[in-house]
Amino acid sequence: MVKSELIKRSPLRILEKSIQGGLGKGNIGILASRKGVGKTACLVHIATDKLLQNKPVIHVSYSSRVDYIINWYEDIFKEIAKKRQLESAVDVHDEIIKNRVIMNFKQDGVNTEQVLKSLTAMIEYGKFAADAIIVDGFDFTQSCSDDLDLFKNFAEKLGLEVWFSASLKGEEPLFNESGVPFLLEGCLGKLDVLITLRFEKDHVQLNLVKDPEFSSTKNLDLKLDPKTLLISEHGE
Amino acid sequence: MKTDISKMRNIGISAHIDSGKTTLTERILFYTKKIHKMHEVHGKDGVGATMDSMELEKERGITITSAATRVEWLDNSINIIDTPGHVDFTIEVERSLRVLDGGILVLCSVGGVQSQSITVDRQLKRHKVPTIAFINKCDRVGADPYKVRDQLDEKLGHNAVLMQIPIGLEDKFEGVIDLVAMKAVYYDGEDGEIIRTTDIPAELQPEANAKREDMLDAVSMFSDELMEAVLEERATENQIRDAARKGTISRKMIPVFMGSAYKNKGIQLLLDAAVHYLPNPAEVDNIATDLENEDREIKLEPDPDAGTVALAFKLEDGAYGQLTYIRIYQGSVKKGDELYNSRSRTNFRVGRLIRMHADSMKDIHDASSGDIVALFGIDCASGDTFVKPGLNLSMTSIYVPDPVISLSVNPEDAKSSDKMARALNRFTKEDPTFKTYVDPESKQTIIQGMGELHLDVYVERMRREYSVNVDTGKPEVAYREAISQRVDFNYTHKKQTGGAGQFGRVQGYIEPLAEGQYEFVNKIKGGNIPKEFIPSCDKGFKSSMKKGQLIGFPIIGIKAVLNDGQSHPVDSSDLAFQTAAREAFKQAYAKAKPQILEPIMKVSVEGPSEFVGNVFATINQRRGIIISSVEDGLFARVDAEVPLSEMFGYSTTLRSLTQGKAEFTMEFLKYGKVPTNISDDLKALYREKKLSN
């Protein structure tokens, strides 16, 4: 399969359709689940899909080491290339990594203002025309509301999509009756898209809890394949 | 006198520049009673630390060459190999690491794990050197050994275990608590030479208890005996040390010690630790290749009576002639012995055998396996293996990367010319990454090396040590050429008019080779080219790769396949087939979409976070790709891939942009395609040069 076909047939097109054409510039989306369910895999898949469309991505990580994140990208790319039998995969790979930057911060050492300052520096001084920002490992139990405001302003000002992961901890139940994680109830108004991931028998189900238009839970026709850790359609 | 091998240690001190390595070494020498007065590396008293034997190092405050020196501690003999920290001198580090059995990784308690620490750590890992860590400068403002321990795990992926905790920090740093003995240790006297051991101060007891528990948890993983003892609360100091030693030697943990070399604190316990936790030479496997036996690998025995095997790892040309440092891996070396150099295939006799202290020496009669000593007046190159005549072994060679940068050097007057030749001859023997040749076209002497600073240092050394002043040209990047597609060839070389004729036809293809420089494949069946002329074809292709057609730089990554050809019973010859192959290559190369490649460097910039924007800008302006940035509040590190040709003068730019607070390291990563506009410029320049010649 050639690259353009691969982009067209990506399961992420289903996600885009379900949320009225994609997250959209200036908007914030969150993927929430317990640790180890597959948030990072989803984020990296979303980022890789952007990269394949020649859209530069900045991956902000609060927790993992850079080499660990790079490995995630390598693995996800390998799986996509294998699954879709991507033509000249090595060249495509070399091309897309030029559009990816990983920025690692310590959340207890660097506040959000500083993070956004560095991101702005990367975009302006580093001439890195980012299309989307992926934020992994941000601890929503430490802070939430104010930081999201700052990120939202930043996204609007620079015309970027921002995808977060949110790790849910503690005793069950983690979600309220509308499927919103208790942790994120307070900042629901600031989000444009909220997707939760939950284990179901043999796969991980993606649920759309909020999108820009409406806000009641619906099952996305998407799952996370436990073997490849790729987002895929049901029945695939 | 033979030394008991279990009481021998060969250790190296690896560190980031300015983490206080030289001061630490100086203190070690002092406490082991080798020298009587201590000096700072920056030499306020104009003497300089003893290990820095070269003028230039004194001036720059960095250590360039490695010297080996012997000290005695706790009834053990320790050879300390001073390893340079700067990445531009990597080959020196590699060579010293080759002969070490254990390493001390020195870290600054303020700066923590910095980019160079990452480089030297990688080198230690590559050579599988068991390591202990020393967190220095605990007296500095902002000292935080706990943070540094965490960084060892987070940034370097170690299992770092605190064996001590500090008593006070910054200007209140007084000493350490030894978590094994559970005692407070203070350093009294003018030079911290008097060790005072007391009970742990009451206010630190809870912290000490907690950290000891952490330590025991980690260390008991390596000993069931200790684990049981810990559960029954009867663990002895020896049990703990034995388990930690096991963990360290198997490189599954790094015990962490701390102090302040400058304030004379913590050094003696670090020496104890080197003896307790680092391996003796018999505990490390060493492999040689048997040149007689299809390069089979042979494990060497640390037996002093076995056949001698030693490696020359360091050459120094001093006031008394050439000194060759050797590490003995097997057998013994005695004064008057005859040894065989397995590279040059010559025998030589051991004249003087020397044990070195940084700047003074002692004649000895013999030395046995595990030891590091020096020989006088031996003609050899660094990396040579010396064996007992009759053996033909070679210690696996150290990986020597190709130089990436070159510079023309012209002596200012005729008198200097001879001296320059002498200097260059010596430098190339000392440092395999430093090369020199005379350009046949310009007749200029060219020196080649691993980076701008690398070559700068040799130009400086020529001036200082040989009083040769040279004019240098503009540094030039070592470009390469490569093809990007497969092309078939079918070429007949024919010259059959008058006299002896020449005839040879070669047919096949060339294609890009992903890994490696060159591969020749002979697929001819049925002898259309007689067997004896196949190597001639190989030779012809190979010789074509020395100079590409685009800009005259070597061609890399070619697979040449020969699948048919033709010969003539009289007129075919070695020369005819070489010519045929060369001409075939020439034609095919032009059609194979050749392109120019340039060295791409892996660049790491590190400094205070406030300058991160400036750093991004400098990388972008240099056609670089930013791979990642890491910020932890105070410090930031930016990793990028940047073409070498854009890196000239980067240190000056960086210094002025960041008020000297940021620094960078760089090493060769790969060859990458040159963008079209630059490639066009290079080609135009080459044509111009050719015309003017």
**CATH code (residue A147):** 3.40.50.300
SS3 A111: coil
Instruction: Give the pLDDT confidence score for residue B57 in this predicted structure.
Output: 43
Mutation for B interface: A51, A101, A115, most B CBs within 10 A: A101
Contacts of A96 in chain B (CB under 8 A): none
Greater model confidence, B569 or B38: B569
SS3 B692: helix
Please report the pLDDT score of residue B43 as a whole number.
44
Distances (CA, A) of B156 to A107, A167, B602, B603: 19, 25, 18, 18
- Average pLDDT of the residues of chain B: 85
Report if residue B629 sits inside a domain: yes
Instruction: Assess whether pLDDT exceeds 60 at residue B40.
Output: no
Same domain, B582 and B612: no
Q: Which residues of B touch A (CB under 8 A)?
A: 154-155, 157, 609, 612-614, 616-617, 619-620, 625-634, 636, 639
Contacts with B609 from chain A: Cβ below 8 Å: 110, 114, 118
- Indicate whether B448 and B325 sit together in one domain: no
pLDDT at B66: 40
Indicate if the pLDDT at residue A143 is higher than 70. Answer: no
DSSP β-bridge partners for residue B597: B480, B673
B75-127 confidence digits (pLDDT tens): 888 888 866 655 444 566 667 778 889 999 999 898 888 766 777 787 787 78
**B43 and B189: one domain?**
yes
Q: Residue B256: pLDDT band by 50, 70, 90 thresholds?
A: very high
For residues B164 and B47, membership in a common domain is answered with yes
Asked if residue B59 and residue B10 are part of one domain, the reply reads yes
B463 is in which domain, residue-wise?
405-471
User: B567 with B530: CB under 8 angstroms?
Assistant: yes
pLDDT 10s digits, B4-17:
888 999 998 877 76
Confidence at B620, pLDDT banded by 50, 70, 90? very high
pLDDT at B240 over 90: yes
A102 touches chain B (CB under 8 A): yes
CA distances from B319 to B47, B238, B316 (A): 19, 47, 10
What is the distance in angstroms between the Cα of B251 and the nearest Cα belonging to chain A? 21
Q: How far is CA B97 from CA B38, B111, B397, in A?
A: 27, 24, 13
Q: Which two tokens stand for residue B80?
A: 């300390």
Through-space distance between the first and last CA atoms of chain B, rounded to whole angstroms:
65
CB-based contact B148:B169 (threshold 8 Å): no
Please report which residue ranges of B604-657 form alpha helices under DSSP H.
612-621, 650-657
Return d(Cα B369, Cα A185) in angstroms, integer. 70
B129-167 residue pLDDT tens: 999 999 999 998 888 999 999 988 887 888 999 999 999
Interface check A104 vs B, CB under 8 A: yes
Pair (B456, B565) in one structural domain: no
Structural domain count of chain A: 1
Q: Are residues B92 and B177 in the same domain?
A: yes
- CB contact burial A17-30 (16+ within 10 A = b; e otherwise): ebbeebbbebbbbb
SS3 B608: strand
Write out pLDDT tens, residues B166-177. Answer: 998 898 899 999
Q: State how far residue A15 is from chain B, nearest Cα, in angstroms.
A: 29
Please give the ipTM for the structure prediction: 0.88
- pLDDT confidence of residue B318: 64
For residue B310, the Cα-to-chain-centroid distance in whole angstroms is 19
Min Cα separation A20/chain B (Å)? 33
For chain A, what is the mean pLDDT? 85
Most confident by average pLDDT, A1-15, B434-448, B577-591: B577-591
Domain presence at residue B476: no
Residue B193 three-state SS: coil
What lies within 8 Å, CB to CB, of A95 at 6+ separation is: none
- Two structure tokens written together for B554: 């070597």
**3-state DSSP call for residue B492?**
strand
B686 within some domain = no
- Give the residue from chain A lying closest to B155, CA to CA: A65
Residue where a domain stops, chosen among B337, B360, B395: B395
Report the DSSP beta bridge partners of residue B511.
B559
pLDDT confidence bin for B320, thresholds 50/70/90: low
Of A2-11, A141-150, A221-230, B367-376, the range with the highest mean pLDDT is: B367-376
Q: Of B471, B498, B528, which closes a domain?
A: B471
Q: Judge whether residue B215 has pLDDT over 70.
A: yes
Least confident range of A129-133, B49-53, B646-650:
B49-53
With beta carbons less than 8 A apart as the criterion, state whether B606 and B664 touch. Answer: yes
Ramachandran class of B507: left when φ > 0, alpha when ψ lies in -120 to 50, beta otherwise: beta
More confident residue, B381 or A132: A132
Identify the residue with better confidence: B440 or B502. Answer: B502
Mean pLDDT, residues A142-165: 89
Residue B510 has pLDDT above 90, yes or no: yes
Which residue range(s) make up the domain with A108? Answer: 3-233
Is residue A123 very low, low, confident or very high in pLDDT (cuts 50, 70, 90)? Answer: very high
Across the interface, do B629 and A103 touch by the CB < 8 Å criterion?
yes
Are A128 and B630 a contacting pair at CB < 8 A?
no
- Across the interface, whether the CB atoms of B632 and A109 are under 8 A apart is answered yes
Q: Last residue of a domain, which of B371, B395, B419?
A: B395
Query: Considering only CA atoms, which of A93, A112, A88, A17 is closest in space to residue A52?
Result: A93
Instruction: Please check whether residues B574 and B611 belong to one and the same domain.
Output: no
- For the residues B296-310, what does the mean pLDDT come to? 87
Is residue B6 within 8 Å of B282, Cβ to Cβ? yes
Q: What's the pLDDT at B614?
A: 92
At residue B436 the predicted structure's pLDDT band, cuts being 50, 70 and 90, is very high
Q: Residue length, chain B?
A: 693
Q: What percent of chain B has pLDDT over 90?
A: 38
Q: What is the CATH number of the domain that holds B533?
A: 3.30.230.10
Higher-scoring residue by pLDDT: B247, B47? B247
CB atoms within 10 A of CB B398: 16
**CATH number of residue B324's parent domain:** 2.40.30.10
Identify the band that residue A214 occupies on the pLDDT scale cut at 50, 70 and 90: low
Burial tier of B231 (Cβ tally within 10 Å: 0-12, 13-18, 19+): exposed
Report helix, strand or coil for B578. helix
> Given this model, what pLDDT does residue A28 score?
92
Q: What is the pLDDT of residue A90?
A: 83
Which residue did the predictor score with more confidence, B617 or B1? B617
B378-416: pLDDT as tens digits: 888 778 889 998 888 888 665 566 788 889 999 888 888
Residue B324 lies in a domain: yes
**Which ranges of B554-611 would DSSP assign to H, the alpha helix?**
574-591
Q: Tell me: do B275 and B309 sit in the same domain.
A: no
Domain with residue B220: its CATH number is: 3.40.50.300
Taking the mean position of all CA atoms in its chain, how far away is CA A85?
Answer: 24
Which residues have a Cβ under 8 Å from the Cβ of B213 and sit 6 or more positions away? Answer: none
Q: Collapse the DSSP code of A172 into the 3-class scheme (helix H, G, I; strand E, B; otherwise coil) and give the result.
A: coil
Are residues B194 and B205 located together in one domain of the fold?
yes
Predicted confidence (pLDDT) at residue B505 exceeds the cutoff of 60: yes
Give the total number of structural domains in chain B.
Answer: 5
B103 and B11 in contact (C-beta within 8 Å)?
Answer: yes
Residue B481 host element (H or E): strand B480-482
Q: Are residues B490 and B629 in the same domain?
A: no
pLDDT band, residue B47 (cuts 50/70/90): very low
Q: For residue range A20-78, what is the model confidence (pLDDT) as tens digits?
A: 777 888 999 999 998 888 888 899 999 999 999 999 999 999 877 888 899 999 999 99
Mean pLDDT confidence for B495-519: 86
DSSP string across B405-456: EEEEEEESSHHHHHHHHHHHHHHHHH-TT-EEEE-TTT--EEEEESSHHHHH
Domain match, B573 and B653 both: no
Alpha-carbon gap, residue B518 to B512, rounded angstroms: 9
DSSP letter (8 states) at residue A226: T
